[in-house]
Structure 1
Amino acid sequence: MKLSRLSTTVLAGAAMLALASCSAGGGSTDSTASPAEATTATVNTEAPVYDQLPEAIQDAGVINIAGDTHPPYRTLQENGEITGIDPDIQAALAEQLGVPFAIQTSSGLDAMLTGMLSGRYDAFNGPVRTTAEREEDFDAVVWMTTRTSYLYLTERQDELGAPEDVCGARVAGVTGSVTESQLEHYTQWCSDNGLEAPTFLGLEDTNSTILAIQSDRADYAGTTQTAALDLQAQDEGTFEFVVQSDEQGAGVDQLAMFMPKDNELAPAMLAAFEGIFANGEYDRIMSEWELDDVTVDAPTLNPMTESGE
């Protein structure tokens, strides 16, 4: 599915999540997708990686994967369907694994990480960067990279368009995300240049950060460069963004699919990723979503704590 085929705006997705949040008393939300809503409808015991799956996953016949709304990774359509890079990657992986994925919608990174540790979810595909600390609790299969960007309204170009403008500004971002940690590096750059530190406004999901800049609760929405490009393409002329540079401490973050270590799914998932790299599906999907600049040569397992082999 290409970017040009997206039909739902960020605000529409945010409204749907807001309704769900209200019905749950304002906390994080979870809804369980039925097997019929999974990426692939049937189990294929002859699939290349099926025999490597843990017995519990084989018995369940489905991989329950957590997901929030985060275009272009996942976009919640008005009919309840979730589209984006993540479902496309899941469809390709399901062909290798022989079992379907079912996206369980949730809100908030902490809720998804703790949900995996409690056994509610089998995996979560971010976009979340892997760290040595996270790899203590989770297995991480890295399959793409990113740089942090700071999205702002085009009408504010004159006051927000330069890298130094981020210093002293209000930056909305998802709590616990890449943006929050990268903003710390940006803060150091600001200090080194005699400029004020930016203020981080931690929110539950990407839609909330976009609403924050549209309602003037924040000046910027910190997000991945991938998401910034997608939002700009969806609503042409509305958004611009500043990309955090190496000088500002950005570097390149490795984004991963996470799985709790105790469910022993990681070896099979790594093999499935290797399969879609080998058969060309990975390159095809990334190219269709115009993500060639953030691809990796090969998937790696736990690169922060292991050799990645």
Structure 2
Amino acid sequence: MKLSKLALAASAALTALLLGSCSSSPAAPEQPEGGEADAQAPAYDLLPQEIKDEGVITIAGDTHPPYRTIEEGGEITGIDPDIQKALSEQLGVPFEISTSSGLDAMLSGMLSGRYDAFNGPVRTTEEREAEFDAVVWMTTRTSYVYLAERSDELSDPEAVCGARVAGVTGSVTESQLARYAEWCAQQGLEAPEFVGLEDTNSTYLAVNSDRADYAGTTQTAAMDLQSAKPDTYEFVVQSDEQGAGIDQLAMFMPKDNELAPAMLAAFQGIFDNGEYERIMTEWNLTDVMVEEPVLNPMTAG
């Protein structure tokens, strides 16, 4: 397992994650990439005119290592910026990350025109595809992070049943925990209690302060956290038997900004030229790769 980059990113993030406010993500300035538009880029002609005029794609983002880590100086690192850099070479315009807090704020911000896109990690659903275009580029499984000092009582998957599980409201964790509850019922056990919070930072703090037994998060984020603090955190992964399935994670764009055709082409470009595989391998994400990007898989006719 390649953990060097994960560990470096997670170590820098833990100060913000574990010492920051419970109510919001750490504040940081917007991060323009800079540079002029490249009209010769492969997918540039597919961009809507408004994006060409602006010369930038504004993408919403919160703190969710290893996808996005807001460093102390305001720089944003992680998988998301790496993917954006590769996509920018296909699109001919840079991305600008605008920090926000909470899934609802980012989704509503796209509908109001504040953001052009949001890259999650968020699963696509039929309901979301009614309002947004979704380009699927990876999958995920839910993991449940707990304090290592409580391993004796929480390491068994059955311990999740009846436990308090903190998760981001509206995230894939919430829906997967509902499936976990069905498995618990089949075992004659109590359903877990979902503690809905605003962001990933808040879920880890809830575990640290004993307001929750587990923090539900993506498998990648759980690996990232444990690699930085192996003696502090452990996690269990939800199995197919427990209703995990494989949820599809997507970049979302409001339908009315007509950015989806260009974005799909850009993703296809980085799949074809090997950048997608390179980035996913570098971040130890080969087990959640997909064979090709797909637009609106839940509603495609």
TM-score of the aligned structures, taking structure 2 as reference length: 0.95
- Contact 2:29 2:74 (8 Å CA) reproduced: no
Which of 133, 140, 160 is 1:146 aligned to? Answer: 140
Find out whether 1:239 has 2:243 as its counterpart.
Answer: no
Q: Secondary structure at the match of 1:8?
A: helix
Letter of the aligned partner of 2:7 in structure 1?
Answer: S
Alignment deviations for residues 51-97 of structure 1 (CA, whole Å, 9 cap, x no partner) = 11000000000000000000000011000111000000000000000
Find out whether 1:64 has 2:62 as its counterpart.
Answer: no
Which of 182, 199, 203 is 2:193 aligned to? Answer: 199
Q: Structure 1 residues 223, 144: CA separation in 2 closer, same or farther (over 3 Å shift)? A: same
Q: What is the alpha-carbon distance in structure 1 between the residues aligned to residue 33 and residue 228 of structure 2?
A: 25
Corresponding residue for 2:296?
Answer: 302
Corresponding residue for 1:258?
Answer: 252
Corresponding residue for 2:7?
Answer: 4
Which of 76, 81, 105 is 1:87 aligned to? Answer: 81
Per the TM alignment, residue 123 of structure 1 is displaced from its structure 2 partner at its CA by: 0.2
Per the TM alignment, residue 12 of structure 1 is displaced from its structure 2 partner at its CA by: 1.9
Which of 277, 280, 291 is 1:283 aligned to? Answer: 277
Letter of the aligned partner of 2:13 in structure 1?
Answer: T
Letter of the aligned partner of 2:111 in structure 1?
Answer: L
Q: Structure 1 residues 31, 233: CA separation in 2 closer, same or farther (over 3 Å shift)? A: closer
Q: Structure 1 residues 149, 13: CA separation in 2 closer, same or farther (over 3 Å shift)? A: closer
Task: Give the total of aligned pairs.
Answer: 297
Q: What is the alpha-carbon distance in structure 2 between the residues aligned to residue 238 and residue 221 of structure 1?
A: 13
Q: What is the alpha-carbon distance in structure 2 between the residues aligned to residue 109 and residue 41 of structure 1?
A: 29
Letter of the aligned partner of 1:77 in structure 2?
Answer: E
Per the TM alignment, residue 5 of structure 1 is displaced from its structure 2 partner at its CA by: 2.8
Q: What is the alpha-carbon distance in structure 2 between the residues aligned to residue 237 and residue 289 of structure 1?
A: 22
Letter of the aligned partner of 1:165 in structure 2?
Answer: A
Q: What is the alpha-carbon distance in structure 2 between the residues aligned to residue 235 and residue 242 of structure 1?
A: 16
- Contact 1:11 1:207 (8 Å CA) reproduced: no
Letter of the aligned partner of 2:16 in structure 1?
Answer: A
Q: Structure 1 residues 103, 199: CA separation in 2 closer, same or farther (over 3 Å shift)? A: same
- Contact 2:58 2:117 (8 Å CA) reproduced: yes
Per the TM alignment, residue 4 of structure 1 is displaced from its structure 2 partner at its CA by: 3.4
Q: How does 1:12-51 map to 2 (within 5 A)?
A: 12-13=16-17, 15=19, 18=21, 33=30, 37-39=31-33, 41-51=35-45
Q: Secondary structure at the match of 2:12?
A: coil
Q: CA RMSD in A?
A: 1.7
Q: How does 1:124-143 map to 2 (within 5 A)?
A: 124-143=118-137
Percent identical residues:
71
Q: Structure 1 residues 13, 190: CA separation in 2 closer, same or farther (over 3 Å shift)? A: closer
- Contact 2:143 2:235 (8 Å CA) reproduced: yes
Q: What is the alpha-carbon distance in structure 2 between the residues aligned to residue 217 and residue 27 of structure 1?
A: 17
Find out whether 1:159 has 2:162 as its counterpart.
Answer: no
Q: How does 1:206-245 map to 2 (within 5 A)?
A: 206-245=200-239
Letter of the aligned partner of 1:2 in structure 2?
Answer: K
- Contact 2:47 2:259 (8 Å CA) reproduced: yes
Letter of the aligned partner of 2:44 in structure 1?
Answer: Y
Alignment deviations for residues 99-149 of structure 1 (CA, whole Å, 9 cap, x no partner) = 010000000000000000000000000000000000000000000000011
Q: What is the alpha-carbon distance in structure 1 between the residues aligned to residue 178 and residue 208 of structure 2?
A: 24
Q: What is the alpha-carbon distance in structure 2 between the residues aligned to residue 101 and residue 164 of structure 1?
A: 43
Q: What is the alpha-carbon distance in structure 1 between the residues aligned to residue 25 and residue 141 of structure 2?
A: 27
Q: Which ranges in structure 2 are unaligned for 5 or more consecutive residues?
A: none
Q: Secondary structure at the match of 1:9?
A: helix
- Contact 1:44 1:98 (8 Å CA) reproduced: yes
Q: What is the alpha-carbon distance in structure 1 between the residues aligned to residue 173 and residue 215 of structure 2?
A: 9
Q: Secondary structure at the match of 1:197?
A: coil
Find out whether 1:172 has 2:170 as its counterpart.
Answer: no
Letter of the aligned partner of 1:294 in structure 2?
Answer: V
Q: Which ranges in structure 1 are unaligned for 5 or more consecutive residues?
A: none
Letter of the aligned partner of 1:97 in structure 2?
Answer: L
TM-score of the aligned structures, taking structure 1 as reference length: 0.92
Q: What is the alpha-carbon distance in structure 2 between the residues aligned to residue 263 and residue 30 of structure 1?
A: 27
Per the TM alignment, residue 2 of structure 1 is displaced from its structure 2 partner at its CA by: 2.3
Letter of the aligned partner of 2:104 in structure 1?
Answer: D
